[in-house]
């Protein structure tokens, strides 16, 4: 718990900027107990307001320029970290980074932000309450 709180502290550093994209499946999938998922959904809401953290949700109904694939993160346009079932890969080849940046940009165009993203989260929370 302490380590997680320390990792979250960096999000409040106004000298750093973050842009997260989340597939709608991540906010509706029941990979944890309902109470935990409800807490996670609640945690996302403040980040929808903007600031140094930008949170977009790619809804199921979005027109996708590229298919959603494995998760990845881009660090300062020089490093991509991606994971498979068995390994974490650090990609620093400029061609690999450029490919992931193009995929990110396409997915970011398909994402919803602000009030529209809040509606996706609220819909997921409502469905969670209705089943429990």
- The pLDDT of residue 125 is above 70: yes
| Cα–Cα distance measured from residue 44 to residue 16, given in angstroms and rounded to the nearest whole number | 18
Q: Are 59 and 24 in contact (CB under 8 A)?
A: yes
- The pLDDT of residue 131 is above 80: no
Q: What is the pLDDT of residues 45-91, one digit of tens each?
A: 988 887 888 999 999 999 998 887 888 999 989 999 999 889 999 99
The helix/strand/coil state of 132 is: coil
Domain chopping of the chain, boundaries: 2-131
Q: What is the pLDDT of residue 132?
A: 60
Structure tokens at 85: 């079932």
Q: What is the pLDDT of residues 105-123, one digit of tens each?
A: 999 999 999 999 999 999 9
| Cα–Cα distance measured from residue 65 to residue 99, given in angstroms and rounded to the nearest whole number | 13
pTM for the full model?
A: 0.84
| Cα–Cα distance measured from residue 53 to residue 12, given in angstroms and rounded to the nearest whole number | 8
* Residue labelled with tokens 């650090």: 90
Q: Is 16 exposed, middle or buried (0-12, 13-18, 19+ CB in 10 A)?
A: exposed
């Amino acid at each position: 718990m302490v380590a997680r709180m320390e990792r979250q502290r960096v999000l409040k550093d106004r000298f750093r900027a973050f842009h997260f994209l989340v597939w709608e499946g991540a906010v509706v999938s029941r990979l944890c107990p309902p109470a935990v998922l409800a807490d996670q959904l609640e945690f996302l809401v403040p980040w929808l307001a903007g600031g140094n953290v930008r949170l977009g949700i790619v809804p199921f109904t979005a027109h996708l320029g590229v298919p959603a694939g494995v998760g990845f993160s881009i660090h300062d346009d020089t490093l991509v970290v991606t994971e498979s079932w068995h390994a974490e890969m650090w990609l620093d080849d400029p061609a690999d980074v450029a490919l992931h940046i193009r995929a990110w940009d396409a997915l970011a165009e398909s994402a919803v932000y602000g009030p529209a993203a809040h509606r996706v989260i609220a819909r997921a929370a409502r469905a969670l309450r209705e089943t429990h």
